[in-house]
Chain A
Amino acid sequence: MTGPAPLPTEIRRLGVDALVVSWSDGHQAEYGNRYLRDHCPCAECREHPRRGLPVRGQGDGVYAVQIGLVGRYAISIQWSDGHDSGIYSYRLLRDLCPCDACTACREGAA
């Protein structure tokens, strides 16, 4: 890795559909709520993606009710389906970046 890791400078809610994250290196991308919710990093979602609360493939109506800062390394999102235990580190957010360039980069590496 070269230089310091980029940090988010702004996290903007785009209605009920998406979050737009702007980064300190000028990068910017729109994260669909469904996509972010599906990639919730909490233990529950990683290990039992279909148990309990509605998680995957149950419509697109999920949105962020509240976004909080966790220390200075992550955000937490309280989703409209009631789930709130995922801590999205800035690094994870960046790794998940759904923009075309980052997606192509990930697929190239895989």
Chain B
Amino acid sequence: MTITVDDLRERLTEIRPLGLKRDIVAAGMVRDLAFAEGIASVRLLRGPLPEGVLEATTADIKRALGAFTEVSAVEVELVQAPASGAGEIGPIPGVADIIAVASTKGGVGKSTVAVNLACALARGGTRVGLLDADVYGPSLPTMLALSARPEVAEGNQVLPLQKFGVAVMSVGFFLDDTSPVIWRGPLVTGLLRQFLKDVRWGDLDLLVIDMPPGTGDAALTLVQQVPLSGAVIVTTPQEVSLVDVERGISMFRQVNTPVLGVVENMSDYVCPSCGTHEQIFGSGGGQRLAESFGVPLLARIPLLESVRRQGDAGVPIVLAEPDGPVGKAYVALALAVIDAVAAERAPAPRIVG
């Protein structure tokens, strides 16, 4: 008769180290179990068990598995738990800071702000990545005129596309143009986890996440999975959208993510023929909001027809017209964001022992 890994695992369930209420399999201590050519190898999680108990457990494992006549040797390797645990992703390798660009309401230009912010940062020399986490309506492929599919590197890692000096990843790269994105919560969560875990960003100073709209499942997944250095909230000046912004600020406050500030988008309409400023959506809303919540107003971005035109053409306005009123506003926003991130940097607790 031949034995399988399952037979070995079954046998391991009989081992219960001193002081443990469950056997080593149920307690999650058996990280890996393999059987090949008569050799059974076990990777055992150390946990905080005392050395003596670990030695006894190792001996028990060798005895238990060695009892199979098919097993000629048993190898037990003791491994330390990784720093991040319980399925959380923790900091992304190589990425120094992660910020979220969020809005609690659609149509305020969140993605436009995220793209232009990333490009403005890259233009200033920051190594920046841009993750389009707006899974339901990914707009980055259009805004950056990107249609290639990302390449897959070894280890099933996906390489981001490069455009204007920005490393870019979007769910849109994997979809056909016309297919609607109809996903239930768990699928969205799984996809976002993959984006955070399986994209090889390389060394970045800052990763900008274009957040899913609202305060739902997808947004919560993101704030739980990665330690955000801060959030930038995009709004328009009128009252109705400001009410929603309050919700967004509360959400980030609840998860201890600093709100770096508010960006008031479409704040002035500048008439292309006469240069007159018109405040179509009212005025001062972002300022009032910033004051009542004690967060800075990072930028007021004027509304220009060319913002939309350049966005549709795949050249963000900050690169197309860096010296125009909108371009200047984005360059100033990039500097304000860098400052705010540096000011908010609080180290994560060390987990030791």
Interface residues of A (CB under 8 A from B): 5, 7-16, 21, 24, 54, 58-59, 61-78, 80-82, 84, 87, 89-90
Interface residues of B (CB under 8 A from A): 19-22, 26-29, 45, 47-50, 81, 84-88, 90, 223-228, 254-257, 346-353
Query: Residues of A contacting B84 with CB < 8 Å?
Result: 68-69
**B85 touching A67, Cβ below 8 Å:** yes
**B85 touching A66, Cβ below 8 Å:** yes
**B349 touching A7, Cβ below 8 Å:** yes
**A61 touching B86, Cβ below 8 Å:** no
Query: Residues of B contacting A73 with CB < 8 Å?
Result: 254-257
Q: How far is the CA of A8 from the CA of B85 in the complex (A)?
A: 17
Q: How far in angstroms is the closest Cβ of chain A from B167?
A: 22
**B28 touching A72, Cβ below 8 Å:** no
**A72 touching B47, Cβ below 8 Å:** no
Partner of A68, one of B19, B90, B346, B352: B90
Interface centre among A21, A58, A64 (most CB of B within 10 A): A64
Q: How far in angstroms is the closest Cβ of chain A from B343?
A: 12
**B86 touching A72, Cβ below 8 Å:** no
Partner of B86, one of A58, A59, A78: A78
Residue contacts A-B, CB under 8 angstroms, 8 given: A10-B352, A21-B349, A24-B346, A63-B19, A65-B27, A65-B45, A68-B86, A80-B22
Query: Residues of B contacting A66 with CB < 8 Å?
Result: 28, 45, 47, 81, 85-86
Query: Residues of B contacting A84 with CB < 8 Å?
Result: 86-87
Q: How far in angstroms is the closest Cβ of chain A from B292?
A: 18
Of all chain B residues, the one with the shortest Cβ separation from A80 is B27
Q: How far in angstroms is the closest Cβ of chain B from A15?
A: 5
Interface centre among A64, A80, A87, A90 (most CB of B within 10 A): A80
Q: How far is the CA of A21 from the CA of B346 in the complex (A)?
A: 17
Given contacts A10-B349, A16-B49, 18 further A-B contacts (CB under 8 A): A11-B350, A11-B351, A13-B352, A16-B19, A58-B21, A61-B19, A61-B21, A65-B47, A67-B85, A67-B86, A69-B88, A70-B224, A71-B225, A72-B257, A75-B351, A76-B86, A80-B20, A82-B28
